[in-house]
Structure 1
């Protein structure tokens, strides 16, 4: 089964992320496939992005961060930026249909989408500093416009988790529905969209991108900083801890590295 499934359901294009064994975390090939699917949906009435297996999306796959290949990781960062930018540039409304965890880059997909509908069991949050990274493709910039600066920093810096009801109160999602009722709710939103002018929906959507457009330079610069940090001890420790299902020890590892460097310097004197 393909990792990304694209299905035309009447007037809408459904993009389904299908890697449930890793909570639908995406790699470069998957990011490119989603981007192509969004860009090819200009003739649809709307686009729906969803996941399988009780998760929405855990963002970019972390399995290579413990021993990162700089070229591959740089390409994944760039591919992630192209994906969220394609969502914002799509002339049709894009709906995040969230059932389960939206974490890290998956949470940023929710930020990028025009609308978000979630089941009660869904959760939201960033993972950046907790796993040796930073959510610079929405969480550290555009999210502040959506939920307020203090709350956005709470989410992006402290990596707290939020229930679907909390996400609704914050303004991150538009509606929360009972578990099992997600597709019915999405169809209801699609029916409402179909009653509207596609030409003026496009104008309204592109006009609403003011804050997104102002954030893109910040995103590109921040990705450059992430590239410079590839292979850092914090990145390696965060990935190892995530894969080993333990709490990371960023400061302990940093202190050990500093002690080793000091000892080596002392031996040379």
Structure 2
């Protein structure tokens, strides 16, 4: 979502293509569209535009917040500073699945994560994902800006954190990673218990919402889509790939 006060416009982007970021970022692309706008817009085009705008609706969804007891940020830093966790083979990544699918750019899976304290109010998270090593800072409060890369595709993000202790006594950390040039937010939940880390992946808009939008665009019903896909899903190679993509969590061990 982009806010352009100069043009009195709010631009919402719900999908894209592999060529969307080929020649610059989304802001530059949208700005160029406004700068090249035609001065000869017909009355019919204007009425069509207003009819489409009047048909838009807005639904606000609250981000999920884990149930946990509060804890000082200092304790979180003491627990995580200089800690590194390794993971076995998986298909999970920092980029939301919606973006991976739209851009045909898939993660090779997270192999390790590590934490380091940058200041009394800031922790840094490093995530090894295939050949990429991405770093994210997050603060005690507020947002921190970073850039994430996946196979030469870069996105600016803003990160906020929630943390505490679960009722079972586990240290919980949840990061909300907002991809600023898209409507997507990747949600990472870290659950620490002893030397084990369970890392769960979620996103907003959720995949079910994205699928609903896709069906609306194609005019297919859910049953028609499944009927067309089932013969292909039964193929072993595709079946294994889908099982990997459907995974939402992985468990890592702390290195000593």
What interval of TM-score do these two structures reach, taking the shorter chain for normalisation?
A: under 0.3
Which structure carries more strand by proportion? 2
Instruction: Compute the TM-score of the two structures, normalised by the length of structure 2.
Output: 0.25
Structure with bigger gyration radius: 2
Which structure carries more helix by proportion? 1
Instruction: Compute the TM-score of the two structures, normalised by the length of structure 1.
Output: 0.25
